[in-house]
Structure 1
């Protein structure tokens, strides 16, 4: 990926940058924003610090964040790439065919699709047994599927500050990272917040396209 020297006009992203500053004030001590279209980074912005302690390191382009559930986005992409490369035949393959050691987790009847869509029915916290037969229900839980998977795979860690939005009509993606240092304020609506973020990203991309 290359950083495009001809960045979209800064004014197109002014409202989005103001939103990120507001998010830092309400939800965290620091944030990072990156908007990519095609192979170009069309906008990026960093602000705040890694913590509330005096002298805490400023957020910048090499800062690392706790990804939490955002890792599911990367996992989904990795699975789709494995299918394209022929490493996985189908999402409907048995999960046990790809996991060498799932410990005592009962994988019989569970497919990769069940794992990716949280319809596997496995109990929360890695306990043996099931909440429901595979494919008959939905549960967003923290089940760990043994040492053959990367640490944290298929886990929800409950940090709401981070988001990845894919915008196919624009050939773009936007990543918002917050360090999650502060607790969510009373009445905070995560879904409404993400919708607002998405609307501002779309507005900025459309504005930048008109100016470009």
Structure 2
């Protein structure tokens, strides 16, 4: 992707903010990358790929485990399927798109419910349970993602990885973004607690599992691709409508106004919401995605800005308020623009 580099000191306090966070969480390296007014203005890397003092230094081609940030790519694949007519509407019942042997417990659940974490489903010991009626509350559960990736494959005949590769990665020459079945030297070690039951990996490269790694610069470029609504390098890479629906508010009006607000899995900024992961100073129309590793991608269309922070931690130490921390990241960016 062709983006000029004009490094400036304007966002130095953001670098300081991310450095402070990297000292509070259990990581061995981190980075921050900002694109503002179509220029790369901040690009910083520090630390190493692992706690081994002889390990590789964090650098431009270092790929971080992005955890739930992968959901922005899944959201794109769903938006693509809707735009191309593979999915009639996100208001359709999910049982129209999955196995005819689908459980009755799925009745009443729409694709929109899956995209906005309002489906009310939960997987426990291999069985699906319902926590609340669809559209009446909000809960961040992995089963919604599993169902979405299944629906994408069933409707398009392609995997999430194939859709994003064909429509975005290849046209933009992305080479530091993907799902990996094997570790290589450019992938950071994920620092985590021993035997952490929430840590999973996979040999699958279909885009359906939590084994996605992306460099900070390509994650920022992924955000810039959305900021520009698919028009980059002088070309409309994908239909503008795909980006529009993916990053617009889709959460049902029936949920509590203080719950997080979502587009196609992206967290979006609309009316004030107490449980939002986006900073209070960040303007309406912005959208963000956050991973369990602390990797964060924030897009602020009103300011023509994309910001990425990346760490190689997994989870948060006791007493660390990750929600307040990620909000502060966004608010610090806005402070750099206002003062």
Sort the TM-score into its range (normalised by shorter chain).
Answer: 0.7 to 0.9
State the secondary structure of the residue aligned to 1:145: helix
Residue segments in structure 2 that go unaligned for 5+ positions in a row:
154-206, 211-264, 266-289
1:160–1:190 Cα contact (<8 Å) kept: no
The question of 1:176 aligning with 2:315 is answered no
For residues 8 and 83 of structure 1, the distance between their equivalents in structure 2, rounded to whole angstroms, comes to: 39
2:35–2:307 Cα contact (<8 Å) kept: yes
For residues 147 and 164 of structure 1, the distance between their equivalents in structure 2, rounded to whole angstroms, comes to: 21
State the secondary structure of the residue aligned to 1:34: strand
- Which residue of structure 1 lines up, in the alignment, with residue 138 of structure 2? 138
Q: 1:147 to 1:191 in 2, by over 3 A?
A: closer
- Which residue of structure 2 lines up, in the alignment, with residue 41 of structure 1? 40
Number of aligned positions between the proteins: 202
Residue segments in structure 1 that go unaligned for 5+ positions in a row:
208-212
Q: CA deviation at 1:106?
A: 4.5
- Which residue of structure 2 lines up, in the alignment, with residue 210 of structure 1? none
For residues 324 and 39 of structure 2, the distance between their equivalents in structure 1, rounded to whole angstroms, comes to: 28
For residues 8 and 146 of structure 1, the distance between their equivalents in structure 2, rounded to whole angstroms, comes to: 39
| Aligned mate of 2:208, from 130, 151, 176 | 151
**TM-score between the two structures when normalised by the length of structure 1:** 0.78
State the secondary structure of the residue aligned to 2:316: coil
| Aligned ranges 1:58-77 → 2 under 5 Å | 58-77=57-76
State the secondary structure of the residue aligned to 2:112: helix
Q: 1:206 to 1:61 in 2, by over 3 A?
A: farther
- Which residue of structure 1 lines up, in the alignment, with residue 172 of structure 2? none
State the secondary structure of the residue aligned to 1:90: coil
For residues 309 and 291 of structure 2, the distance between their equivalents in structure 1, rounded to whole angstroms, comes to: 16
Q: CA deviation at 1:41?
A: 3.2
2:297–2:306 Cα contact (<8 Å) kept: yes
For residues 56 and 31 of structure 1, the distance between their equivalents in structure 2, rounded to whole angstroms, comes to: 14
Q: CA deviation at 1:158?
A: 7.3
State the secondary structure of the residue aligned to 2:32: strand
1:101–1:147 Cα contact (<8 Å) kept: no
